[in-house]
C-alpha cells in the first residue's frame, strides 16, 4: 500500500508540474512583448463612432486571444473628434506628436479624413479609415491613406442597373452637402447618363438643416413630376429625412426610394419610428458571405450586450472596423515594428504645432505591410487593391416592417441574380425578372412611376379609340387603332414601360372638355402622357412634347356629290371652258382668213363678190371641224397651214368627245362645292368634329364666322347634316382630318367625296410632358413599328379593312372643274399660229417684192397710202403667172389656118366668157390666129391658138 501511495503521489506531482509548465510556457512576460501605439479618432457621440469603438475593443481582445504568441501588442489611444473637422485634425496631431502612434484608425467622416490624411503624409503615419468612403479621397494620390472599405463609386453601376431594370427614365438624387455626399454624385451622373436616364434636379441638403428647411426641400420634390429618388447621406440626416418625407405623404404609392451603401449599412441602429417611415424602400449594400467565424462572433456579440450597449447593433461598418484592427495587428507583427520612434524636426511644447511634428521611422514599412496583408475576415475576404478594400458583390433588399427582405444580388460578372452560388454561365442581366417582387411604398406590388396615360372618351369613330366599361368590375376596357399602335410601340422599346390608361371623362362618362384641355392635364401633372387620336399642331407643342406621328396628316373638306348633272340642258358646252371656246373660235376665223389670203390670187374658188368671199372664209375654216370642206387649195403654203390646222382640229374634237362622254357617264360623282371661298361668300354652314382643333383652324386660318360652325360626333351625324344641306338645318361641307374622312367615306362612299386643298398637319402622335426623356425612345420605336409593313399592316387591317370597298371609286372623283382649258392646248395653238404667220409673211413679202418696184416707178408722184391702195387693188387681181392659170392657158392653141380654126362662138361670146373667167381683161383681139387680151391697166397678154378654145 505504501508503494502504491507513493506512486500515486509521484504521478500527481508530475501532472501538476506539467500543467504549470505548460501554463507558464504559453504566456509571454510583459517584458518580452513589444507595445505598438495606435491612435483611434472617432465621433464618440455618433452612431458609427460608438459602434466602432465597441467593435475595435472586441477586435483587439479577440485577436490576441487567438494569437497569444505574437511578439507585438497594439495599445489603443482613443480621441473624440467631436463631429468636427478641426477637432479630428487636432486629435490626430496630438496622437502623432505626443503619443507617437505608429498608425491612426479613423476618422469616420470623409471631410475629417481629408485633413488627417495630410498630417499622416507629413508624419509618414498610415491613416486607416473603415468609413471614409468618398471617391474624392484617393489612396493612389495619398500614399499613407489606406481605406479598409469600399469606395462609394463601386456601387454606382449596381444602382444604375436597378434604375434600368425598372425602366425609370428620370431620377432625382438626394444627398447631403458634404465631401461624403458630393463625392458620389459625379460618378452617379455618369452611370445614369450611360443608360440614358435623365436627372432633372439634384436635391442637396446640408447636414445642419433643420426640419423646416428639409420640409421646404421635400415640397419642391413633391411639386416635381419625378417620383424616383436616390438617397445618399449619413444615418443621422437620413433618418430625419424619411420621417419628414412620410409626414409629407411621399412614402405612398407611386414613389420609389433607393438607398446607397452608406445608409443601407446603418438601418439596424435606427428606431422603429424611422423604420416605419421607410417601408417599401430599396437598398443596396455589400454582400457579407456567411462563415463560422462570423457566426461565432454574432453569438459572442449577443452575450456581451449590456443595457447601455443595446443600441449598438450588428452592422457592416462595425465588421470593417473589426477587420481593420486584425489587419493592422497582423501587419505590425509581420513588419517587425520594435521600439519605433519619431524623428523630431523642431522642439515645441505645443500639442498642435505642425512644425514640431516628427516623421515615423517605421511608417513606410508598416504601410507596405498592411497593403499586402490578406486574410478571411468577418466581412469576407480582406484584400487591398490600390490602397482600398477589393470590391465585393452587392445585395439588394426591401424594407418591410422592421426587417430587410433580400430580393436579389448583383455582381460585376452576372448582373442581377437570386442565387450567388449558381455556377451556371449566364449573360449579364439587368432584368427585373431576376429579382424577387419588391413591395413598394404604399404596400403595393404595382411598380412606381407607372405612366399615367390620359385617354379621350369619344362617341364616334371608335375604330381609333373605344372606351367600354365592364358591367361586373366597372373598370374601363380601352381598344382601337391608337391603342394597338401604342402597345406595339411599347413592346418595341428596349426597356419596360409600366402604364395605366385613365379615361378623360366627366360624371356622364363623356369627354371632359376638348383635346387641348386634355393635353393641358399633362402640364398640371394629372397625366404623364396622352395616347389617342391626338393631332400634332403648333400651339399644342407649346406645353407638351409630341412623338413622331404614327398616322397620315392633313385636314380636308367632304361634301355631297351631285348626281343629276347629266340632265343639264347645256351640258354639251361643259367639256370646254369658256376661254377655250372663245380661243378656238378665234383660231377658226384667223385660220380661214389666212387660207383666203394665200389662195385668193391663185385659186378661182376663193374669188367672187365680197359677201361670198366673207362667207367662204367662215365656211372653209369651220367646215374643217367635220373635215367637210370642198374647196381645193392650190398654194403649198396653204396646204402647210391646213395640215397643221387639221391636226389641231383633230385633237380638239377628240378631247371634246372624250370629255363629254366622261361627263355623261360619271358626272354624278362631281362635288357640290369645290371652293371654300364660295362657301364662305354664300354664308353656308359647315361642320367639324366636336372637341377637335379643326374649329380653331376654320376660324383663324380659313376665316369662317364662328356662328356658321356646327359640331358633330359620329359619321351618322355627318351623313345627316350633309344630306340635309345648309338650307335644311344641315351643312354645306364637313371639315375634318383625313383619317376620319376616310372612315366616313368608307361607309358613305356613293354619296360624298373629299375635295379642296389639304391643310397640312403632322398627323396623330403621342403627347408627353415637356422635356420628357421618353420622347426620343418612343419616337424611335414608332419608326420601327410604322416601317414594319407586316406589323402596322395587321393593325390597320384589323380596324380599317372596310375602307377598301371605296378606294377604286374614290379615284374617279375630282375636286376640279371637268372643263378643258386653254392651258391644255396652248402648245397646239402656238404651233398653228406660227405656221399661219410664217406662211402669211412669206406670201405678203413675195407679193410686195414683185409689185412694189413697178408701182413706185410708174406712179412716183403718188403718196404712200395711194400706193398701198393700188397694191390692194393689184392683190385683188388674179396672179396669171401662177401655175394654176398656166395650166389652163396651155389648153388654148392658136389656129394657124383659116381652114382649121373654127370659132363656133361669136367674139362677143368669147369676150363675155373671158370677162367672166378672167377679170381685168377688156378687149379680145384675134390677129393671125393669136388672141390678144388687152388689160385695162395697160398689160397685154397673148394666147397661142389651138384647135379648140375651152371656155
Amino acid 258: pLDDT: 96
Cβ contact 452:435 at 8 Å: no
Angle ∠(63,65,66) on CA atoms, nearest 5: 65
- Tell whether omega for the bond before 107 is within 30 degrees of 0, i.e. cis: yes
C-alpha distances out from residue 665 to 19, 652, 653, 814, Å? 130, 20, 18, 14
pLDDT tops 60 at residue 237? yes
pLDDT at 926 over 70: no
Q: How confident is the model at residue 189 (pLDDT cuts 50, 70, 90)?
A: very high
pLDDT > 90? residue 658? no
* Lowest-confidence segment of 105-109, 247-251, 505-509 by average pLDDT: 505-509
Span 540-571, pLDDT tens digits: 999 999 999 998 888 999 998 875 555 567 77
DSSP state of 950: -
- CA distance linking residue 848 with residue 83, whole number of Å: 123
Higher pLDDT, 700 or 919: 700
Question: At 145, is the secondary structure helix, strand, or coil?
Answer: strand
Question: Are the C-beta atoms of residues 343 and 358 closer than 8 Å to each other?
Answer: yes
Please answer whether residues 558 and 736 qualify as being in contact, where contact means their C-beta atoms are separated by less than 8 angstroms: yes
- pLDDT over 50 (residue 924): no
Mean pLDDT confidence for 157-178:
93
Residues of the chain above pLDDT 90, percent: 38
Residue 214 has pLDDT above 70, yes or no: yes
pLDDT score at 734: 94
Q: Do 270 and 404 meet the contact criterion of CB atoms below 8 Å apart?
A: no
Asked if 42 and 332 count as a contact pair (C-beta separation under 8 A), the reply is: no
Name the pLDDT band for 205 (thresholds 50, 70, 90): very high
- Report which DSSP code applies to 47: H
- Residue of 281, 172, 222, 155 whose CA lies nearest to 773: 172
Cell output for 307: 443595457
Q: In the prediction, which pLDDT does 331 show?
A: 93
**At 671, is the pLDDT very low, low, confident or very high (cuts 50, 70, 90)?**
confident
| CA–CA separation, 250 and 217 (whole Å) | 12
Give dist(CA 359, CA 340) in Å, integer. Answer: 11
Nearest to 410 by CA among 280, 258, 186: 258
Structure confidence by residue, pLDDT tens digits, 738-752: 899 988 988 887 788
Mean pLDDT of the region 747-776: 88
Task: Report the pLDDT value the prediction gives residue 883, as an integer from 0 to 100.
Answer: 64
Q: What does the pLDDT average to over 372-390? A: 92
Q: What is the DSSP string of 369-424?
A: HHHT-EEEETTEEEEEETTEEPP--EEEEEEETTEEEEEEEEETTTEEES-TT--S
Strand partners, 74: 36
Among 510-524, 634-648, 793-807, name the most confident range: 510-524
Q: How many residues are listed for the chain in this entry?
A: 951
Alpha-helical regions (H) of 30-178: 47-66, 85-98, 110-123, 156-165
CA–CA distance, 923 with 848 (Å, rounded to integer): 28
Residue 578, Cβ density class (10 Å: 0-12 exposed, 13-18 middle, ≥19 buried): exposed
Among 365-369, 507-511, 700-704, 790-794, which stretch is predicted with the lowest mean pLDDT?
507-511
Give the pLDDT confidence score for residue 534 in this predicted structure: 93
* Entry pTM: 0.67
List the end-to-end C-alpha distance of the chain, in Å, as a whole number: 200
Task: Quick: pLDDT tens for 272-295.
Answer: 888 899 999 999 999 999 889 888
pLDDT band at 188; cut points 50, 70, 90: very high
Beta bridge partners of 377: 380
Q: Which grid cell sits at 19?
A: 500543467
Query: Quick one: what percent of the chain has pLDDT higher than 70?
Result: 79
Residue 786 confidence (pLDDT) above 60 = yes
Neighbours of 907 (CB within 10 A): 12
Question: Does residue 297 carry a pLDDT above 80?
Answer: yes
Does residue 572 have a pLDDT over 90?
Answer: no
Residue 399 is predicted with a pLDDT of 93
For the record, the C-alpha cell of 471 comes out as 358591367
Q: For residue 942, is pLDDT > 60?
A: no
CB-CB contact of 764 with 535 (8 Å): yes
Cell of 214: 428639409
DSSP code per residue over 506-541: -TTSSB-S-HHHHHHHHHTTS-SEE-SS-B--TGGG
| Chain segment 67-82, per-residue pLDDT in tens | 999 989 999 999 999 8
**pLDDT of amino acid 262:** 85
Q: Which helix (H) or strand (E) holds 942?
A: strand 940-943
Pinpoint the alpha helices (H) of 449-577: 481-492, 515-523
Q: How far apart are CA 858 and CA 124, in angstroms?
A: 137
**What is the H or E stretch that residue 738 is in?**
helix 738-747
pLDDT at 307 over 60: no
Looking at residue 657, its pLDDT comes to 85
Q: 409600366: which residue's cell?
A: 498
As to burial, measured by CB atoms within 10 angstroms (0-12 exposed, 13-18 middle, 19+ buried), residue 688 is: buried
Q: What is the pLDDT of residue 3?
A: 52
Comparing 109-118, 299-308, 350-359, 495-504, the range with the smallest average pLDDT is 350-359
Q: Give residue 345's pLDDT.
A: 54
pLDDT at 32: 67
Strand 394-400 relative to strand 403-411, pairing: antiparallel
pLDDT computed for residue 568 by the predictor: 67
Tell me the pLDDT tens digit for each residue of 121-132: 988 999 999 989
Higher pLDDT, 548 or 506: 548
Q: Which stretches within 861-932 are classed as H helix?
A: 864-876, 883-889, 907-917
Answer with the residue of higher pLDDT: 145 or 458: 145
The more confidently predicted of residues 908 and 589 is 589
Is 941's pLDDT higher than 70? no
* pLDDT in the model for residue 609: 79
Q: What is the enclosing helix (H) or strand (E) of 834?
A: helix 826-858
For residues 483 and 428, what is the distance between their CA atoms, to the nearest angstrom? 33
> Over the stretch 695-719, which tens digit does the pLDDT of each residue have?
999 999 999 999 999 999 999 999 9
DSSP-derived secondary structure for 430-486 = --GGGSPPP-BTTTB-SPTT-EEEEEE--SS-TTT-EEEE-TTT--EEEESHHHHHH
Query: Mean pLDDT, the chain, as a whole number?
Result: 80
Are the CB atoms for 789 and 488 separated by under 8 Å? no
> Which has more pLDDT, 661 or 113?
113
Please state, in angstroms and rounded to a whole number, the distance separating the CA atoms of residues 738 and 619: 54
Residue in 732, 734, 706, 729 with CA at minimum distance from that of residue 718: 734
Read off φ and ψ for residue 833, nearest 5 degrees.
-65, -40
298: cell is: 454574432
Amino acid at each position: 500500500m505504501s508503494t502504491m501511495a507513493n506512486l500515486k503521489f509521484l504521478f500527481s506531482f508530475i501532472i501538476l508540474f506539467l500543467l504549470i509548465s505548460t501554463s507558464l510556457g504559453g504566456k509571454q512576460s510583459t517584458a518580452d512583448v513589444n507595445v505598438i501605439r495606435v491612435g483611434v479618432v472617432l465621433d464618440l457621440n455618433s452612431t458609427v463612432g460608438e459602434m466602432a469603438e465597441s467593435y475595435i475593443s472586441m477586435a483587439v481582445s479577440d485577436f490576441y486571444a487567438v494569437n497569444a504568441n505574437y511578439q507585438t501588442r497594439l495599445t489603443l489611444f482613443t480621441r473624440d473628434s467631436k463631429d468636427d473637422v478641426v477637432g479630428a485634425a487636432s486629435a490626430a496631431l496630438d496622437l502623432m506628436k505626443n503619443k507617437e502612434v505608429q498608425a491612426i484608425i479613423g476618422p469616420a467622416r470623409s471631410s475629417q479624413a481629408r485633413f488627417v490624411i495630410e498630417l499622416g503624409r507629413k508624419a509618414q503615419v498610415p491613416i486607416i479609415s473603415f468609413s471614409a468612403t468618398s471617391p474624392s479621397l484617393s489612396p493612389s494620390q495619398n500614399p499613407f491613406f489606406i481605406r479598409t472599405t469600399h469606395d462609394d463609386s463601386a456601387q454606382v453601376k449596381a444602382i444604375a442597373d436597378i434604375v434600368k431594370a425598372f425602366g425609370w427614365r428620370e431620377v432625382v438624387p438626394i444627398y447631403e452637402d458634404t465631401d461624403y455626399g458630393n463625392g458620389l454624385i459625379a460618378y452617379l451622373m455618369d452611370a445614369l447618363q450611360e443608360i440614358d436616364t435623365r436627372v432633372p434636379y439634384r436635391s442637396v441638403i446640408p447636414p445642419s438643416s433643420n426640419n423646416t428647411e428639409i420640409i421646404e426641400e421635400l415640397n419642391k420634390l413633391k411639386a416635381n413630376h419625378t417620383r424616383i429618388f436616390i438617397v445618399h447621406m449619413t444615418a443621422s440626416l437620413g433618418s430625419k429625412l424619411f420621417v419628414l418625407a412620410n409626414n409629407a405623404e411621399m412614402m405612398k404609392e407611386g414613389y420609389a426610394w433607393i438607398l446607397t451603401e452608406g445608409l443601407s449599412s446603418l438601418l439596424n441602429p435606427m428606431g422603429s419610428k424611422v423604420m416605419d417611415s421607410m417601408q417599401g424602400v430599396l437598398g443596396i449594400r455589400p454582400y457579407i458571405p456567411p462563415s463560422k467565424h462570423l457566426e461565432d462572433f454574432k453569438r459572442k456579440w449577443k452575450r456581451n450586450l449590456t443595457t447601455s450597449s443595446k443600441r449598438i447593433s450588428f452592422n457592416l461598418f462595425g465588421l470593417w472596423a473589426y477587420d481593420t484592427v486584425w489587419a493592422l495587428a497582423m501587419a505590425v507583427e509581420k513588419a517587425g515594428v520594435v521600439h519605433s520612434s519619431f524623428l523630431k524636426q523642431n522642439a515645441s511644447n505645443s500639442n498642435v504645432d505642425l512644425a514640431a511634428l516628427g516623421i515615423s521611422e517605421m511608417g513606410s514599412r508598416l504601410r507596405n505591410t498592411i497593403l499586402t496583408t490578406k486574410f478571411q475576415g468577418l466581412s469576407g475576404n480582406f484584400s487591398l487593391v490600390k490602397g482600398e478594400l477589393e470590391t465585393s458583390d452587392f445585395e439588394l433588399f426591401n424594407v418591410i416592417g422592421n426587417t430587410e427582405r433580400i430580393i436579389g444580388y448583383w455582381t460585376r460578372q452576372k448582373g442581377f441574380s437570386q442565387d450567388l452560388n449558381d455556377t451556371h454561365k449566364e449573360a449579364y442581366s439587368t432584368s427585373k425578372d431576376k429579382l424577387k417582387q419588391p413591395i413598394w411604398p404604399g404596400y403595393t406590388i404595382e411598380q412606381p412611376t407607372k405612366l399615367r396615360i390620359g385617354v379621350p372618351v369619344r362617341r364616334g369613330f371608335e375604330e381609333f379609340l373605344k372606351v367600354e366599361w365592364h358591367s361586373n368590375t366597372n373598370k374601363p376596357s380601352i381598344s382601337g387603332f391608337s391603342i394597338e399602335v401604342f402597345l406595339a410601340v411599347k413592346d418595341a422599346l428596349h426597356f419596360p414601360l409600366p402604364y395605366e390608361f385613365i379615361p378623360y371623362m366627366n360624371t356622364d362618362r363623356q369627354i371632359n372638355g376638348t383635346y387641348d384641355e386634355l393635353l393641358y392635364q399633362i402640364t398640371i401633372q394629372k397625366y404623364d402622357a396622352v395616347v389617342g387620336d391626338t393631332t400634332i399642331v403648333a400651339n399644342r407643342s407649346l406645353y407638351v412634347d409630341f412623338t413622331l406621328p404614327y398616322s397620315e396628316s392633313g385636314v380636308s373638306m367632304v361634301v355631297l356629290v351631285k348626281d343629276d348633272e347629266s340632265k343639264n340642258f347645256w351640258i354639251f358646252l361643259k367639256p370646254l371652258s369658256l376661254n377655250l371656246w372663245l380661243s378656238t373660235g378665234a383660231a377658226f376665223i384667223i385660220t380661214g382668213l389666212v387660207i383666203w389670203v394665200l389662195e385668193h390670187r391663185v385659186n378661182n374658188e376663193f374669188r367672187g363678190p365680197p359677201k361670198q368671199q366673207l362667207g367662204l372664209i367662215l365656211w372653209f375654216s369651220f367646215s374643217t371641224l367635220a373635215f367637210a370642206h370642198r374647196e381645193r387649195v392650190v398654194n403649198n403654203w396653204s396646204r402647210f397651214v391646213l395640215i397643221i390646222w387639221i391636226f389641231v382640229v383633230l385633237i380638239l374634237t377628240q378631247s371634246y368627245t372624250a370629255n363629254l362622254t366622261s361627263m355623261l357617264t360619271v358626272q354624278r360623282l362631281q362635288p357640290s362645292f369645290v371652293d371654300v371661298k364660295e362657301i364662305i361668300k354664300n354664308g353656308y354652314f359647315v361642320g367639324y368634329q366636336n372637341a377637335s382643333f379643326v374649329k380653331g383652324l376654320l376660324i383663324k386660318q380659313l376665316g369662317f364666322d364662328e356662328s356658321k360652325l356646327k359640331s358633330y360626333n359620329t359619321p351618322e351625324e355627318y351623313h345627316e347634316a350633309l344630306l340635309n344641306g345648309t338650307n335644311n338645318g344641315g351643312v354645306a361641307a364637313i371639315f375634318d382630318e383625313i383619317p376620319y374622312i376616310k372612315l366616313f367615306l368608307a361607309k358613305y362612299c356613293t354619296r360624298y367625296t373629299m375635295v379642296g386643298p389639304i391643310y397640312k398637319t403632322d398627323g396623330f402622335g403621342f403627347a408627353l410632358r415637356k422635356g420628357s426623356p421618353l420622347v426620343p425612345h418612343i419616337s424611335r420605336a414608332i419608326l420601327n413599328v410604322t416601317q414594319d409593313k407586316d406589323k402596322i399592316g395587321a393593325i390597320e387591317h384589323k380596324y380599317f379593312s372596310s375602307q377598301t370597298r371605296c378606294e377604286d371609286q374614290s379615284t374617279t372623283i375630282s375636286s376640279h372643274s371637268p372643263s378643258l382649258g386653254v392651258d391644255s392646248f396652248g402648245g397646239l395653238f402656238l404651233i398653228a399660229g406660227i405656221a399661219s404667220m410664217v406662211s402669211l409673211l412669206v406670201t405678203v413679202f413675195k407679193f410686195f417684192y414683185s409689185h412694189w418696184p413697178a408701182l413706185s416707178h410708174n406712179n412716183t408722184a403718188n403718196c404712200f397710202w395711194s400706193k398701198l391702195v393700188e397694191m390692194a387693188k393689184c392683190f385683188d387681181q388674179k396672179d396669171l403667172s401662177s401655175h394654176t392659170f398656166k395650166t389652163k392657158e396651155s389648153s388654148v392653141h392658136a389656129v394657124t389656118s383659116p381652114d382649121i380654126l373654127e370659132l363656133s362662138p361669136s367674139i362677143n361670146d368669147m369676150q363675155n366668157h373671158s370677162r367672166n373667167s378672167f377679170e381685168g381683161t377688156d378687149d379680145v383681139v384675134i390677129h393671125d390666129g393669136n388672141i390678144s387680151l388687152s388689160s385695162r391697166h395697160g398689160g397685154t397678154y397673148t394666147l397661142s391658138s389651138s384647135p379648140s378654145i375651152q371656155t
